[in-house]
Structure 1
């Protein structure tokens, strides 16, 4: 993991400036000698907007009912976590979680969710990159400097693209006045500290 780059990008993410974070990550990737990871430059996940919106809507409907019958707890926030995608290259997916309390910026409270999706949402569109990760692991390519560097930038860029997808999905949801868009959503991947808060 490129912790220096993650810290730098995280500053932009915290300021809700995903576009700058994506530009910086792509620029860092383009400085590295060409690898299979370079296909990620210019790619996004925005084709999943309507599918993600439906996924969040269904989860909101199910948890809203649960919170209605729980007099002591009210829905306050959502959390999205992508699976540990670099080592689980066979399938990339997201789960959603709901909370009645929002904790501190150390984000340890995200482990204390009340409800989660029964069925996850598969991320489609980055299958070629999944094959690249598989190739790196199966053929032990970490010793090749440019592959190691590109790998470390790409994992951060993939998370930024997921966060961008959520940002755009929330924008459209607000325009069409979907009730779940009034609740904050925290977005990241498993074991990463670059967490984007929408709302």
Structure 2
């Protein structure tokens, strides 16, 4: 049996955890030892000197299109290793026709950057947009995604999901989910656990 844990942040970005039986799934792609080596085998749509906004656009195109390998390799090395240790994959629950726009980019002297975006989902209920700030770090391989921040509830501080600290991220996700009012839970802004045989 494979357990799939999905938390949708304002049904936009899902962090999926596979645990339990392997059921023939390739282990190497989630093996921390191969997280670095596999990067050279993946053709990335950006060069090492790409600007933060270009990296975020490539990352969002990858998760929107279901290209898990490209999305994973646009994460920082630490995020790749740590998410692999926890069997986590960053993916969007939305459809390929979801859209996004890059709003602003802020580059800091410490080698970090924030890229503000707006993601729009189209569903039977209509269009819904979510503002997300992507947090990047500049490393030897270029700008890479380290995490994201989004406003779940207007009264609260933005929720920061640090892909380099999956244990802390999962704790923050659980706390955010438990604090959501019932109407938001009904729209899918919640933790969903299901079993697949």
Q: Tell me the TM-score normalised to structure 1 length.
A: 0.25
Q: Tell me the TM-score normalised to structure 2 length.
A: 0.25
Bigger relative contact order, structure 1 or 2, given CA contacts below 8 A and separation 6+?
Answer: 1
Q: Whose radius of gyration is greater, 1 or 2?
A: 1
